[in-house]
Structure 1
Amino acid sequence: MSRLGTIGARLYRGEIGYDFVAKRKFWYGVSILITIAAIVGLAVRGLNMGIEFKGGAVFTTPKTSVSVTQVQETATETSGHHAIVQKLGNGTLRIQVSELDTQQANTVQTELAKDLGIASEKINAELVGPSWGEEIANKAWTGLGVFMILVVIYLAIAFEWRMALAALIALIHDLTITVGVYALVGFEVTPGTVIGLLTILGYSLYDTVVVFDGLKEGAVGITKQTRFTYSELANRSLNGTLVRSINTTVVALLPVAGLLFIGGGFLGAGMLNDISLSLFVGLAAGAYSSIFIATPLVADLKERDPQMKALRKRVLAKRAAAERDGSPGTGSEDDAPDAPLGDPAAAGAGGGLVTPRADRGRGRSSGRRR
């Protein structure tokens, strides 16, 4: 078995663990800083809206050896607007010029044909009106709103309102970061971007719902024991699905990274850039938020409940009494809803990888009959 597989098996069996919930304030701070950077980038730089949202013309040339710079200068000077030129993988050029009417588009097409030394009919020209992009954007906003409402209702029914609220905050966190990255890197926002943003919504919730499901099962009868607090139980559920979440995210990111860095970077496929960047950032942000935001936030909200406050007092009081008596203080095995992930006291104090103490057999005879 590989080292990662061994670690995953030990996490699942509860032999080791990392206390994410105990360090939640640190992760909250990191997320707030990243979100602020995304919002500032969005406010200062703004989104580079594609021609589908602003209107204009798109010209596609046959395979040519003329440089991108030369074609860009010709299109910009002729139209009076900044032209965006992309060299596609098959050697053709894609020229976008915003805010052009039919007559201006014909003039640009003619000048481009002269520059390339071909007939103007060989250059494919398409006029795009801004109303089409506006319609797409409105439908996307509507779909996003309906999706979030349905998600909140479903999670509130299937789990509880605290988990629904935490999942919604994590989802908004992922979308804000993804849109902010688009503003910072200056990638063009096209209908492909909108598709990518809507696609990551499900991915962002997948890991979160998996952890919530384990937490819901583990929390059954939690007030009847004095071994774990709710936060410690939430941390156990998170560690139990950690390796699976990482593996799922990595497997999903690999093909998306291929689209982004190979398809978009080397082959120059513009549409691949638009959709793959949103998928790449959204998947990474979704995996991060499910581990460092959603579950710790649920624990924070749940610990405000009077029953969970009373449980925490009982657990801490029992541990304090056990420390005074010099005993392990983890309670009997029948108190725990499941096998322990690790020593809760050690996990809460150190916040790192912990290994449970070998309590079993302490103070007992070797089992030999005399």
Structure 2
Amino acid sequence: MMSFAQWGNALYFGKKSYGVIPRKRTFAGIACALMAVSIILMATLGFNQSIEFTGGSQFTVAGSAQTDQQAAYDALAGEGITSDVRVSALGADSIRVQTASLDTATSAAVRDALAQAYGVDSADVQSNSIGPAWGADVTKKALQSLVIFVALVTVIMTVYFRSWTMSCAAMIALAHDMLVTVAVFALTRVEVSPATVIGFLTILAYSLYDTVVVFDKVRELTRGVWDQKRFTFGELVNLAVNQTMVRSINTSIVAVLPVAAILFIGTWLLGSGTLTDISLALFVGMIAGAYSSIFVASPFLVILEERRARTREHTAAVEAARARGTESAEGTTPAAVRVAPVVPGHHLGQAAQPVRKNRRNR
């Protein structure tokens, strides 16, 4: 059985290859379907927004001997508060209670009721209130940050790769990762907080990093692609995807494992409200980013390139050369890409190599 290292070497040198680009329209269709479903989920289900976005009152009970959430619901019901109440455990001895905005007198009554329900002193129940105007300002700033980030990245990608098709393909992959991650929050009803927004911005950077790694290899392999008739643009992109596949997998595993530990340990041991928001965003976003760099960005890059006349003409010329069975300047026309292309030239022979001087004759 082939080891992981042998598998990686076989992928790099083209001895083993997965046809990602030959199935580019299938993967592009899957990506479009995922984005469409994500938009539908967000539109129909909405989000479970935290108090920072909606505004309201929050109470935190610390040092409690028991964390039964029903006790909080009963305490608030005794004060006539039964709607818009959210209770979650924070660690092993704390409870967080969120309600709609309450006046000062009602807040004091709720604080005393929670202290009595959990057997703690009133001083151990912290309370604070957040107005809806502050939550609206947080939402506005978050959207502004996202728009500015995407605009700057689009310009930087275009300048860096000197190719608008690479920039557009990277942005499509970025939109795929963002929509899928946000849809998971709409589906699971995990609370969306300012920490979640930080997680979203972080996965955008991670997604771009993985895509840039693949596109750097694409740029390397496709340098001078129009001057040869052995390989099509799509074949070289497919080789680049296979050559960077192992690196993408390794990078993703190393990044996802600690985040998964935070997500699952935080949820099971510390309570669902502790670090779940940001860790879930990172967990889903990193996996989606690794997937999209190979199965979204690369297929869309080839699809966009094949809309250009230059690419179509070159592909037709390569296929015509293969049909004639002729030989190009680089050698016999291959059936598949097996090695990375080299700079045109030839080996000068052993006689052209530097000769080491015999020191005994000096």
Same fold at TM > 0.5: yes
Q: Does 1:316 align with 2:319?
A: yes
Deviations 1:188-220 (A, max 9, x none): 111111110111111011111111111112212
**Unpaired runs of at least 5, structure 1:** 323-328, 348-354, 357-370
- CA separation of 1:88 and 1:271: change in aligned 2, threshold 3 A: closer
Which of 253, 260, 266 matches 1:257? 260
Structure 2 distance, partners of 1:136, 1:191, is 8
Cα distance in 1, alignment partners of residues 103 and 169 from structure 2: 48
Residue 177 of structure 2 is matched in structure 1 by: 174
1:32 aligns with 2:32: yes
Unaligned runs of 5+ in 2: 340-362
- What do you get for the CA RMSD once the two structures are aligned? 2.2
1:30 and 1:149 mapped to 2: Cα distance?
A: 26
Deviation, 1:162, is: 0.7
* Alignment match, 2:68: 67
Is 1:334 the counterpart of 2:337 in the alignment? no
**CA distance in structure 2 between the aligned counterparts of 1:64 and 1:279, rounded to whole angstroms:** 33
Contact kept in structure 2, 1:225 and 1:335, CA below 8 Å = no
Q: 1:46 to 1:253 in 2, by over 3 A?
A: same
CA–CA distance in 1 between the matches of 2:16 and 2:111? 66
Following superposition of structure 1 onto structure 2, how do residues 1-370 of structure 1 map, counting pairs within 5 Å? 3-61=3-61, 62-65=63-66, 67-76=68-77, 78=79, 79-159=81-161, 160-268=163-271, 270-322=273-325, 331=327, 334=330, 343-344=335-336
The CA deviation at 1:240 is 0.9
Say if 1:227 and 1:76 are closer, same or farther in 2 by CA, change over 3 A: farther
Task: Give the TM-score taking structure 2 as reference length.
Answer: 0.87
In the aligned structure 2, how far is the partner of 1:253 from the partner of 1:77? Answer: 45
- In 2, the alpha carbon distance for the partners of 1:254 and 1:264 equals 15
Q: Distance in 1 between matches of 2:67 and 2:258?
A: 32
CA distance in 1: counterparts of 2:255 and 2:67, whole angstroms: 38
Q: Does 262-271 or 240-249 show the bigger shift?
A: 262-271
Matches of 2:78 and 2:54, distance apart in 1:
20
Amino acid at match of 1:170: A
> How big is each residue's C-alpha offset from its partner over 1:97-144, in whole Å with a ceiling of 9 and x where there is no partner?
233233322221122122223332221112222233222222221111
- In structure 2, what residue type is equivalent to 1:307? R
How many angstroms apart in 2 are the aligned matches of 1:290 and 1:76? 51
- Secondary structure at the aligned position of 1:261 is classed as helix
Quickly say closer, same or farther: Cα 1:332–1:273, change in 2 above 3 A.
same
- The separation in 1 between residues aligned to 2:257 and 2:249, in whole angstroms, is 12
Structure 1 counterpart of 2:41, one-letter code: G
Percent identical: 40
What is the letter of the counterpart of residue 38 of structure 1?
S
Give the secondary-structure state (helix, strand or coil) at the position aligned to 2:296: helix
Q: Is the 8 A contact 1:102 1:127 kept in 2?
A: no
The residue identity in structure 1 corresponding to 2:6 is T
The CA deviation at 1:274 is: 0.7
State the Cα distance separating 1:263 from its structure 2 match. Answer: 1.2
Letter in 1 for 2:171: L
Tell me if the contact between 1:226 and 1:335 (Cα under 8 Å) persists in the aligned partners.
no
Matched residue SS, 2:92: coil
Check the 8 A contact 1:56/1:100 in 2, yes or no.
Answer: yes
Structure 2 counterpart SS, 1:16 = coil
Distance 1:200 1:6 in 2: 31
Residue correspondences, number: 336
> Once structures 1 and 2 are overlaid, which stretch shifts more, 284-293 or 106-115?
106-115
Provide the C-alpha distance between the structure 2 equivalents of 1:48 and 1:28, rounded to a whole number of angstroms: 30
How many Å separate the matches in 2 of 1:63 and 1:248?
A: 42
Structure 2 CA distance for partners of 1:245 and 1:47, relative to 1, 3 Å: same
Q: Distance in 1 between matches of 2:44 and 2:329?
A: 57
Kept in 2, the 8 Å contact 1:263–1:269? The answer is: yes
CA-to-aligned-CA distance 1:25-80 (integer Å, 9 cap, x gap): 21122222322222222112110111111111221112222521122232255323
How many Å separate the matches in 2 of 1:64 and 1:71?
A: 14
Q: Is the Cα contact below 8 Å between 1:38 and 1:184 reproduced in 2?
A: no
- For residues 220 and 202 of structure 1, what CA distance do their matches in structure 2 show? 26
Whether the 8 Å CA contact 1:54–1:99 is kept in 2: the answer is: no
Aligned match of 2:353: none
Contact 1:76 1:83 (8 Å CA) reproduced: no
Q: Distance in 1 between matches of 2:76 and 2:95?
A: 12
Does the 8 Å CA contact 2:64/2:118 hold for their aligned counterparts?
A: no
